[in-house]
Structure 1
Amino acid sequence: MKSREAAALLGADAVQMSQIESGVAGVSAERVRRLAAHYACTDEALIDALITMATDRTRGWWEEYRGVLPPVFADVAEVEHHATSLREVVITHVPGLLQTADYARAVYTYMVPGLPESKLAPRVEHRMRRRVVIEGDDPTPYETLIHEFALRIRVADRQASRVQLQQILDKIEQGHVTVRIIPTNQDGFAGADASMMYVGGPVPQLETVLRDFPTGTMFIDAETQLRQLRTLFRKVEEMTLEPRASRDFIHRMTKEL
């Protein structure tokens, strides 16, 4: 439907419809159901999930950073907050959800040369606060596939690397974080550009993949692309060590430092 047709269906004016479509204004459960009926959507699980999203007025901790950091920082944290599961592939850096403050600071300092402390500090703080999704009484299941290369790069110094590896081991011991290592001597691994975070949704139609590019973070939700990325994730997973062997691998690396 054209915007004016949707507005008429919902009993809204053009301004209200524009605000709903742009995400500036919310939409009621009744209006979501009306639209679903018009589009002949009979998937009740999807409709209920959409209504939950549309009527959620929770002001998350990430809102504190809107206007302080680029919008994508808050967007990523919000997506993670609503995830039912998180699965990640990382090749060149330790995953953000597992980084120590020193590691994150070193990465931001290097990637954005000349960043003043007034902008660096909130970036590091935000990254540390993101860890809330894998901590606490009700953590989100989290699995990450990490290339050995990412663990061996010293973004800061030897001590910072040792502390970073120990933090990963500590998270593994908590029981709800699964880490699998891709060793550098693994034959047939051609996934150097496979980094992604696969975000599980309450229903398959609301799954999302986050991928970082030089131009910024892309949020992917088209089913065709998601299918390809699910396949890619499985291919990378086939190249990893089992979780116990991965834990032992990281432990040996820590002792080497």
Structure 2
Amino acid sequence: MALRNSTTERQRRLGTELRKLREQAGYSVTEGGELIGMGRTHLGHVEAGRTAIPSDRLRGLCDAYGCTRQPFVEALVAMSEDSGKGWWTEYRRALSQPVLDLAELEAAADALFSYESLFVPGILQTPEYTRSIFRSSQIERPRDNLEKAAQFRTERQQILTRVTPPTLHAVIHEAALHMRFGGMAVMRRQLLHLVRMAELPHVTIQVLPFTAEGLSACSTPLLLIESHGSALDTVLVDNPAAALFIHEEDAILKYRTRFDRLRTASLPPLDPGVSASTHESRDSLGLLQHVLYSLQEA
């Protein structure tokens, strides 16, 4: 039984879900292992994400625990059979594990729901905008690491142009449109990039205006990742201390409700295909065009 030196979010999530199923069924670790001819220590390592579990044993364990949600079981099997090897593995020496975990989660996503209060979402950033953010951060980065981090963020965006892309719904606070990163020219190109990305049929972009009532302008950003037919959803909450991956059902429901409030309070989505003369006086594109004009005139 080979043990992993480090674990990914996917591996930890698989173990966590198996532990929850065991506890809900009322079995101890020893009893759970006996159900499939596995020792207590071995099952403990599986639940901690430190070692793999064959698909047949995983199905047998779910069956013994009385889990009848077949889509959920198949989602666990798919998670266990995933090699975890993707383009992001080339960055293992340069970037932290949570950053790599995000790319892996996005690669398996069916839908992404993003809210940002002070930045354009990473998956919608231009390279020069990204570099300017990294340069202005308080974290000292060697130039090589800065370039790798910026390149990594750009490569994450490839999921939006693949054959079967996830849907993306991004809510961006108006404050993020006014923040200056890299100067006016960089910001102008970034905002124009948002308009171009909104042309994709699976991308929806809304702006939450300063005038929205009852919502904090600096509320915590979030990324809700739906995957495996919503059987294994995850919320990412980023903060200066660490990235927090959340997958408890009650918590995810609260974040989903929060995102629904944000998009309901936001202006209608960017729609570059609609003639400017037919736009409502207050919609996301109209506000973005106003900011673009101010950048041009400044």
TM-score, normalised with respect to structure 2: 0.80
What is residue 288 of structure 2 aligned with on the other side? 250
Query: Is the contact between residue 110 and residue 229 of structure 2 (CA under 8 Å) also seen in structure 1?
Result: no
Question: RMSD across aligned C-alpha pairs, in angstroms?
Answer: 1.8
The structure 1 segments of at least 4 consecutive aligned residues displaced by more than 6 Å after TM superposition are none
What amino acid is the match of 2:212? Q
Contact 1:165/1:250 (8 A) holds in 2: yes
Equivalent position to 2:190, from 164, 178, 191: 164
Contact in 2 for aligned 1:191/1:236 (Cα 8 Å) = no
Shift of 1:206: 1.1
CA deviation map 1:24-73 (0-9, x unaligned):
43222211111111211011111111111111225111111123211111
Residue 32 of structure 1 aligns to a residue whose secondary structure is: helix
Shift of 1:191: 5.4
The separation in 1 between residues aligned to 2:212 and 2:39, in whole angstroms, is 60
1:9 Cα deviation from its structure 2 partner: 3.1
2:205 maps to amino acid: V
Secondary structure of 2:51's counterpart equals: coil
Aligned twin of 1:10: 36
Give distance in 2, aligned partners of 1:62 and 1:15: 31
Kept in 2, the 8 Å contact 1:169–1:251? The answer is no
Deviates more, 1:113-122 or 1:155-164: 113-122
Q: Distance in 2 between matches of 1:113 and 1:54?
A: 35
What amino acid maps onto 2:209 in structure 1?
P
- Amino acid paired to 2:48: S
Distance in structure 2 (CA, Å) of the matches to 1:219 and 1:58: 17
Match of 1:207 among 209, 222, 233: 233
CA apart distance, 1:81 = 0.9
Partner of 2:68, secondary structure, is coil
> Which range is displaced more, 15-24 or 38-47?
15-24
Task: Provide the secondary structure at the position in 1 that maps to 2:238.
Answer: strand
Q: Which of 159, 173, 178 is equivalent to 2:204?
A: 178
**1:152 aligned to which of 170, 175, 178:** 178
Counterpart CA distance in 2 for 1:22 and 1:60 is 23
Deviation at 1:18, TM superposition (A): 4.6
Which of 10-19 and 232-241 deviates more?
10-19
| TM-score where L is the length of structure 1 | 0.92
3-state SS of paired residue (1:173):
coil
Amino acid at match of 1:65: Y
Q: 1:13 to 1:68 in 2, by over 3 A?
A: farther
Task: Tell me the secondary structure at the aligned position of residue 198 of structure 2.
Answer: helix
Aligned to 2:275: none
Tell me if structure 1 keeps the 8 A contact 2:84–2:104: no
Aligned AA (1:206):
L
Contact 1:196 1:210 in 2 (8 A): yes
Q: Is contact 1:179–1:247 with CA below 8 Å preserved after alignment? A: no
Identity %: 28
- Note the C-alpha offset of 1:22: 3.2
C-alpha displacement of 1:16: 4.2
Q: After the TM superposition, which residues 57-136 of structure 1 pair with which residues of structure 2 at under 5 Å, given as runs? A: 57-136=83-162
Give, in whole Å, the separation in 2 of the partners of 1:224 and 1:113.
34
The structural deviation recorded for 1:167 is: 0.9
Deviation at 1:138, TM superposition (A): 1.8
Measure how far apart 1:234 and its partner are: 1.2
Residue 38 of structure 1 is matched in structure 2 by: 64
